[in-house]
Amino acid sequence: MVKIDDVARHAGVAPSTVSYVLSGKRTISEQTRERVMRSVRTLGYHPHAGARALASNRSNVVALVVPLRSGIHVPVIMQFATSVVTEARTFDHDVLLLTQDEGVAGLQRVAGTSLVDAIIVMDVELHDNRLPALRALKRPAVLIGVPEDASGLTCIDLDFTAAGAVCLNHLAGNGHRRVALIGSPPEVYKRETGFATRLLGGFRQAAGQRRVKVSAYPCEPTEAAAKAVVEKLMAERPRVTGVVIHNESIIGHVLNAFAHKGAQVPDDISVVAICPDEQAEQARPSLTSVAIPADELGRSAVRMLMGELARGEHVSSTTLLPPKLTERQSTAMLVG
Amino acid sequence: MVKIDDVARHAGVAPSTVSYVLSGKRTISEQTRERVMRSVRTLGYHPHAGARALASNRSNVVALVVPLRSGIHVPVIMQFATSVVTEARTFDHDVLLLTQDEGVAGLQRVAGTSLVDAIIVMDVELHDNRLPALRALKRPAVLIGVPEDASGLTCIDLDFTAAGAVCLNHLAGNGHRRVALIGSPPEVYKRETGFATRLLGGFRQAAGQRRVKVSAYPCEPTEAAAKAVVEKLMAERPRVTGVVIHNESIIGHVLNAFAHKGAQVPDDISVVAICPDEQAEQARPSLTSVAIPADELGRSAVRMLMGELARGEHVSSTTLLPPKLTERQSTAMLVG
DNA sequence: ATGAAAGCGCTAACAG
DNA sequence: CTGTTAGCGCTTTCAT
């Protein structure tokens, strides 16, 4: 392995100069910079990550904790993870992948060993058991999702309360007076995962203001469950004309079920989904939807972390991205 | 931060003894081991990962390169990644997540800086441009997928050739004489991703031996494309009674399209899928399928890497996992 | 079965 | 603008 002394010798400078050229932490004359860079390239020099981490107290790695459980659409996780990796690379950082099942111990391990400089935690629940550990950590962390008590923490998420309201208001604005929400599986609400609860809350509150009658139907992520829920809905509330779907996995199945029962979208039923734009565009008919901005969340999470690392000081904050509703073919004005 | 000297002092031993207790690299009396472990716990000691990597020339991290492109079912990637992380943890290793778009440079970076001890590369193509770099790397690597020239490399994959044959033989054994393959998007075949090409090859070869007439229909991963392909198939080859689907994303759509055209599965059409067992079980009707063993591939990949790291010597090999076909409700004996 | 001490390769004062 | 040097915290010979 070629090391910094080799490069220094080859370029006729001091090792520290090579280090400074590489880190840009002090001004170097264009001459020597070039000479050093040439040596770096010809020798194929790669600084040793461990040595660097030891000397600088920075590993240039961030941890990403991904959920494994149900209720979160896998493609959204992947999209988020990809966005985190890509953005981290623009800051010269790498990403260590952790699964949620390591829990608190995993966080303490990677932070305690200085394996990572910072942590991103996906899918944080309202009463997440990792919150105390996260607060006690000596490294910056950003949570995707907002716990009930976010004090001392940095959180970011889509504003699901506003998203619920936006969906309802869109339907109400189109004249719909009876609207149903087809949502996540019951266990997601029980577990108190913030996003499902918040969306339902915003949905209900807006309904109250608009004097729209609403009902909620949790739904497991299977075709059979989707079909059953649609049948139950149509039997129990035959006068419902608007539906909000907050469960990416079953969107297609719900649409098929409506078609099967002879309900045309949007002629008989208007549908709004909360899902990635890509999915909304591919559906037939294309879906009016509130986007799940996985890319933006990932990018923002990384940027906030890098900001904290650069400043060296921690400021608690929670950022809620405003929902963006895009009108497509699945919603229409209620006639008659 | 508490360091090894603190632990040593607290336990009344030398730092090296603490190190040996933790690594188990030499025999320690039960007495001192316990004393040291108690000190470790009471002080909350976590060895510094960078220092460790520098001194031992081992980072205890493996890189996982995941694909971003189309043609690979996202849930399978996640399942594989999860399995890799979980298995790596049992060997006290962590996983660094890389995306394919960093290409050769990414491999050289993480290997060159000693950030990782070993590398797992998913979705390797027949003529993958990373092969030379992978061969030249001074660290063990295992490829998921088998390139045309696998010399000097360690590869592992499902035996897709055998899988193609198994699917065809199952249908042929049930009396089907005309069988179609609905496969991956055309670009996957053009790109020469091994698995699609191999499956098709095994399928065709078995058909030749069995004197079954076969045809192949590439298919984009959208509902519209699936519907179009089914219509085309039924128009062009009305006498086809058996179908193999090798494209996880469209399985549901294909089944719906058949139903829509009045073709009952399995009464009119027998269907075999290549997909994760979980997906096959959830489909209605449940699908006779050859499993994509993402878990097992992930576990095996990690184990092979750990083996090489332990032995310190590289042996090239390619492991093909035998396909396992599970009969479910979607295939039946051809009658009439 | 345990200690002592020499690095591992780099960064960041400090010095000029 | 550049060089000198003292560590960063651990592992691992070499000793005993």
Kindly state the DSSP code that residue A175 receives in the 8-state scheme: T
CB B331 within 8 A of CB B170: yes
Residue A73 has a pLDDT of: 85
d(CA B74, CA B217): 22
Q: Which residues contact A247 (CB under 8 A, 6 or more apart)?
A: A182, A183, A184, A185, A219, A221
pLDDT digits (tens, 9 = 90+) for A54-89: 999 999 999 999 998 766 788 999 999 999 999 999
In angstroms, the CA B240 to CA B233 distance is 8
Given CATH 3.40.50.720, say whether it is the number of domain B4-55: no
> Per-residue pLDDT tens for A18-67?
999 999 999 999 999 999 999 999 999 999 999 999 999 999 999 999 99
pLDDT > 90 in chain A, percent: 91
> Does the beta carbon of B22 lie under 8 angstroms from any beta carbon of chain A?
no
The answer to whether the Cβ–Cβ distance between B97 and A223 falls below 8 Å is: no
Give the Cβ contact number of residue B325 at 10 Å: 17
Q: Specify whether domain A160-291 bears CATH 3.40.50.2300.
A: yes
Residues of A whose CB is below 8 A from B284: 223-224
- Residue A192 gets the label, from left (phi > 0), alpha (psi -120 to 50) or beta, of left
| Residues on chain B touching A223 (C-beta within 8 angstroms) | 252, 282-284
Q: Which of A7, A43, A54 to mutate to test the interface with B (most CBs of B within 10 A)?
A: A54
- Does the nearest atom of strand C lie within 7 Å of B113's Cβ? no
Supply the DSSP string of B258-321, one letter for each residue.
HHHTT--TTTT-EEEEEE-HHHHHHSSSPPEEEE--HHHHHHHHHHHHHHHHHH-----EEEEE
* Lateral strand order in the sheet of B118-121: A317-321, A154-158, A141-144, A118-121, A61-66, A94-99, B94-99, B61-66, B118-121, B141-144, B154-158, B317-321
H-assigned helices in A149-293: 160-173, 186-190, 194-210, 223-236, 251-260, 277-282
CATH 3.40.50.2300 positions along chain A are 58-158+293-321, 160-291
Task: Tell me which residue in A53, A99, A283 faces B82 most closely, judged by beta carbons.
Answer: A99
Q: What is the pLDDT of residues A208-243, one digit of tens each?
A: 999 999 999 999 998 899 999 999 999 999 999 999
- Residues recorded for chain B: 336
- In this structure, CATH architecture of domain B58-158+293-321: 3-Layer(aba) Sandwich (3.40)
CB–CB of B174/B216 below 8 Å?
no
Chain B span 49-108 residues with beta carbon within 7 Å of strand D: 51-52, 54-58
Provide the residue-wise pLDDT of chain B in tens; the chain has 336 residues: 999 999 999 999 999 999 999 999 999 999 999 999 999 999 999 999 999 999 999 999 999 999 987 667 889 999 999 999 999 999 999 999 999 999 999 999 999 999 999 999 999 999 999 999 999 999 999 999 999 999 999 999 999 999 999 999 999 999 999 999 999 999 888 887 889 999 999 999 999 999 999 999 999 998 899 999 999 999 999 999 999 999 999 999 999 999 999 999 999 999 999 999 999 998 889 999 999 999 999 999 999 999 999 999 899 999 999 999 999 999 999 986
Contacts of A75 in chain B (CB under 8 A): 74-75
Backbone angles phi, psi at B81, to 5 degrees: -60, -45
The answer to whether B114 contacts chain A (CB < 8 Å) is: yes
- Of chain A residues 6-45, which have a beta carbon within 7 Å of strand C? 15-16, 18-20, 22-23, 25, 45
Instruction: Provide the mean pLDDT of chain A.
Output: 95
* Residue B316 backbone zone (phi > 0: left; psi -120 to 50: alpha; other: beta): beta
Distance in Å, alpha carbon of A16 to nearest chain B alpha carbon: 18
3-state secondary structure of B63: strand
pLDDT at A70: 64
